[in-house]
Chains A and B, each alone.
Chain A
Amino acid sequence: MKKVTIYSTPTCFYCHAAKDFFAENNIAYEEHNVAADTKAREEMFAKSHQMGVPVIDVDGEIIVGFDKKMLTDLLVPVK
């Protein structure tokens, strides 16, 4: 199973949408609140070279923003 990490802020619409997507597809993930956690913020910037949320790390592949198509390709098994 792929390791999924999401960097988010509490009020971010697309972060919510991404987490809903994970829940709908039974995908386990680790979340870092970059509003509260400065270390996580630095980590997010090091990985994505930008400051927009969400940043989603799937086994080292970095996705900026809620890219539903890419996340589906990476995480949802083809039936």
Chain B
Amino acid sequence: MYDLIIIGGGPGGVAAGVYAARKKIKTLIITDGFGGQSAVSGEIQNWIGTESISGYDLAKSLEAHLRAQTDIDIVDDDLVAGVQKKDNGLPGAGFSVATRNGKRYETKYVLVVSGSRRKKLGVPGEKEFDGKGVVYCSTCDAPLFAGKTVAVVGGGNSALESVVDSLPYAAKIYLIIRSEVLRGDPVTQDKIKNDPKVTILWNTMIEEVKGKEMVSGVRIKDVKTGEEKELPLDGVFVEIGLLPNSDFAKDLVKLEEHGHIMVDTKTMATSCPGIWAVGDVTDVLYRQNNISVGDAVKAVLNIYDHIKKS
């Protein structure tokens, strides 16, 4: 039986793993890969201590730091499917963690750092054209639309950065946003607002993705007037936000209305004794790599205090 199972291998999960190993807490970390959501980022400029680093290099350095620890077990090709209380929830009995690959592990404490996944548009044609013009990774695929017309959907930093990723390549870029307010950083907003390639379509939503073998257009709707029209294009970059990966724990811990795990900001404890949570999966106010790392350290030190007391 482990003292601690860490669920997730992003910056938060790795920070927790390093601290837990150094405190000699008997730990298992379960993840399907290292680096977290920003692993696919082209360039990260706000990872403190480093002027600029690619998502790939950040992921590699996180993995290396974790693997350099001597006292931690690592499963790097599995996902947690469920967590249950042992002995019908007898205090101190711990938890049973089941994985997608059919494994089962037992632990006293659990730290959930499972992050978020991309929200999908949920419109007809989106699934059919995934990989055929509908794109969820602009850093990977922006170069493939050189000389073409693309639409980026969303109003936050991810959407703005997708526009920036496409500027050197696309002939024309539409930014489709369902409100009248861009939420991303002013620095990035300025970059795109002044570029003649970019047209911002305010108060607009995509109703359908259309095409034959590849995407040839979208049907858009003005959310204020209800007016619909066809927009010919070659690519759709979906950057409309994230959903927390909290499904496997929803029967044990309290979630807020969007599915984020509610946590105490001082200790990162959840509503269930013995389970802590950190990072984008929680109801933390701000979602940043630097924050996840700090909060993961908090959680492990609090878990360590619990271990010492018991």
Interface residues of A (CB under 8 A from B): 9-17, 34-36, 41, 49-53, 64, 68
Given A13-B40, A13-B56, A16-B56, check contact A51 B139 (CB 8 Å).
no
Contact flags B204-235 to A (C-beta < 8 A → 1, else 0):
00000000011000000000000000000000
Which B residues are in CB contact (< 8 Å) with A34?
143-144
Does B273 belong to the interface (CB within 8 Å)? no
Q: Is the interface of A mostly helix, strand, loop or mixed?
A: loop
Docked CA distance A11–B56 (Å)? 9
Which B residues are in CB contact (< 8 Å) with A41?
144
B141 and A53: CB pair below 8 A?
yes
A65's closest neighbor in chain B, by CB? Answer: B131
Interface residues of B (CB under 8 A from A): 35, 39-40, 42, 54-56, 59, 77, 131-133, 135, 137, 139-141, 143-144, 146, 169, 213-214
Which A residues are in CB contact (< 8 Å) with B146?
35
Docked CA distance A67–B143 (Å)? 22
Which B residues are in CB contact (< 8 Å) with A52?
131, 135, 140-141
A35 and B139: CB pair below 8 A?
no
A36's closest neighbor in chain B, by CB? Answer: B143
Given A12-B139, A35-B144, check contact A51 B214 (CB 8 Å).
yes
